[in-house]
């Protein structure tokens, strides 16, 4: 008798779990975000880009041959590897292995960045829609080569990688 009860309880739980999973799949896959919500994410990404660019510019202004290692650590802490919403990506002897392209968006974006082209995509990652964008970076300051010793002494117009951002799009 107790066994029967246990089994029927188990079945009910299973049905509820399957129901929730199916609902989640249907919700996630079938509804691309509205233009309005994509626009909102695009505007957020513009603000975020300006914030990051200001922070990087501040660091470059302060980088000297004497504080290269500290500057590298400061940049690494801002671009914490756990934060997937903002990444510096490159394939030219990257300072961190984690900075190599990690998915198809980043591979495509990095290829375009090395030719100076930006890239934008609205796509789902797991169950979340994202506005993803890549901003190509050139060796546009003399300080680049202090930390990236494989870059030519700058400034030069060589494209070296990209800053990649992703903004979750509101439901
Ligand atoms: C103070 C040192 C420093 C300076 C100056 C600097 N970078 Fe970096 N850069 C870093 C660090 C550290 C990382 C790795 C960040 C991380 O943890 O993801 C990085 C990452 C990158 C990446 C991703 C690939 C890689 O090498 O890891 C690119 C591309 C890049 N930087 C371009 C530039 C450009 C272009 C400039 C000049 C405009 C520049 N950097 C100046 C320290 C520096």
Query: Are 134 and 109 in contact, with CB atoms under 8 Å apart?
Result: yes
Query: Are 41 and 168 in contact, with CB atoms under 8 Å apart?
Result: yes
Nearest-CA residue for ligand 1 atom 12 is 72
**Rounded distance, CA 109 to CA 107, Å?**
6
- Which is nearest to 71 in space by CA: 160, 141, 22, 132? 141
Return the higher-pLDDT residue of 8 and 138.
138
Range in 8-17, 36-45, 96-105, 127-136 the model is least confident about: 8-17
146 CA closest ligand 1 atom index? 5
Looking at the predicted structure, is the pLDDT value of residue 15 above 70?
A: no
User: How confident is the model over 40-69, as a mean pLDDT?
Assistant: 98
Quote the mean pLDDT of the chain. 90
Distance 41 CA to ligand 1 centre (A): 26
Q: Is the CB of 134 under 6 A from ligand 1?
A: no
Angle at 79 between CA 160 and CA 127, to 5 degrees: 100
Q: Is the CB of 143 under 6 A from ligand 1?
A: yes
Nearest-CA residue for ligand 1 atom 41 is 144
Query: Are 105 and 120 in contact, with CB atoms under 8 Å apart?
Result: no
Q: Is the CB of 109 under 6 A from ligand 1?
A: no
User: How confident is the model over 42-61, as a mean pLDDT?
Assistant: 98
Q: Is the CB of 155 under 6 A from ligand 1?
A: no
**Rounded distance, CA 164 to CA 106, Å?**
8
Q: Is the CB of 136 under 6 A from ligand 1?
A: no
Distance 147 CA to ligand 1 centre (A): 7
- Which is nearest to 87 in space by CA: 78, 95, 125? 78
Peptide bond between residue 42 and the one before it cis (omega within 30 degrees of 0): no
User: How confident is the model over 36-56, as a mean pLDDT?
Assistant: 98
């Amino acid at each position: 008798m107790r066994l029967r009860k246990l089994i029927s309880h188990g079945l009910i739980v299973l049905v509820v779990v399957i129901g929730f999973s199916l609902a989640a799949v249907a919700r996630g896959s079938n509804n691309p975000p509205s233009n309005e919500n994509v626009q909102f994410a695009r505007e957020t990404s513009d603000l975020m880009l300006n914030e990051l660019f200001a922070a990087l510019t501040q660091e470059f202004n302060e980088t000297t041959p004497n504080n290269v290692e500290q500057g590298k650590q400061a940049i690494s802490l801002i671009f914490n590897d756990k934060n997937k919403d903002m990444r510096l990506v490159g394939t030219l002897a990257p300072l961190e292995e984690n900075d190599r392209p990690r998915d198809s968006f980043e591979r495509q974006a990095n290829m375009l960045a090395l030719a100076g082209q930006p890239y934008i995509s609205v796509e789902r990652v797991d169950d979340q829609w994202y506005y993803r964008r890549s901003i190509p970076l050139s060796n546009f300051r003399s300080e680049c080569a202090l930390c990236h010793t494989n870059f030519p002494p700058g400034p030069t117009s060589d494209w070296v990688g990209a800053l990649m951002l992703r903004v979750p799009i509101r439901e």
